[in-house]
Amino acid sequence: MRKVIVLGAIAAALGFAGAASAAEVEVKMLNKGTEGVMVFEPALVKVNPGDTVKFIAVDKGHNVESIETMLPEGGKAFVGKVNEELTITFDKAGVYGYKCKPHYGMGMVGMVVVGEPANTDQAKAATHPGKAKQTFATLFDKLAATQTAAK
């Protein structure tokens, strides 16, 4: 069991989930991560439809909730409570942007990319307060890099 979790963490760190069977990827809510303060780590995860992402409240004072303007058509919105873990299974392909409500302006945002996203341009066009704008720009660059690498 422990091994599975460790492997999942490595896959998440690389930004990919396991290929064939449904995978579970962990994203941590942190006061301080490798990318700075108030972060989701990893902030960009790529999964397949049917995979699960578990948002873990490692540090206190954070939550996770989807950003309305960054959901694919038919994709379900989600809202977690502060200090609580949230587990979401993503069935619909697309880009899902999310934020920590208390630290949105500080750039505490992240993105789950499920399968082949059709709403990337629309999600990119969403507007954000403060540092979130820059965080998303960085994440979209990272996403483009992984898509180029995969081809």
Kindly list the residues in this chain that would bind Cu ion in the complex (CB under 5 A): 62, 100, 103, 108
Q: Output the smallest distance, CB 38 to Cu ion, in A.
A: 5
**Between 84 and 91, CB nearer to Cu ion:** 84
**Between 10 and 81, CB nearer to Cu ion:** 81
Instruction: Tell the burial category of 111 from Cβ atoms under 10 Å away from its Cβ (0-12, 13-18, 19+).
Output: buried
Q: Which two tokens stand for residue 75?
A: 């994709």
Contact 55, 87 (CB under 8 A): yes
Distance CA 17, CA 131 (A): 27
**Between 28 and 62, CB nearer to Cu ion:** 62
**Between 16 and 85, CB nearer to Cu ion:** 85
Q: Give 3-state DSSP helix, strand, coil % of the chain, rounded to 5.
A: 30, 30, 40
For residue 18, give the 3-state DSSP assignment.
coil
Q: Output the smallest distance, CB 32 to Cu ion, in A.
A: 11
Q: Output the smallest distance, CB 92 to Cu ion, in A.
A: 26
Q: Output the smallest distance, CB 139 to Cu ion, in A.
A: 16
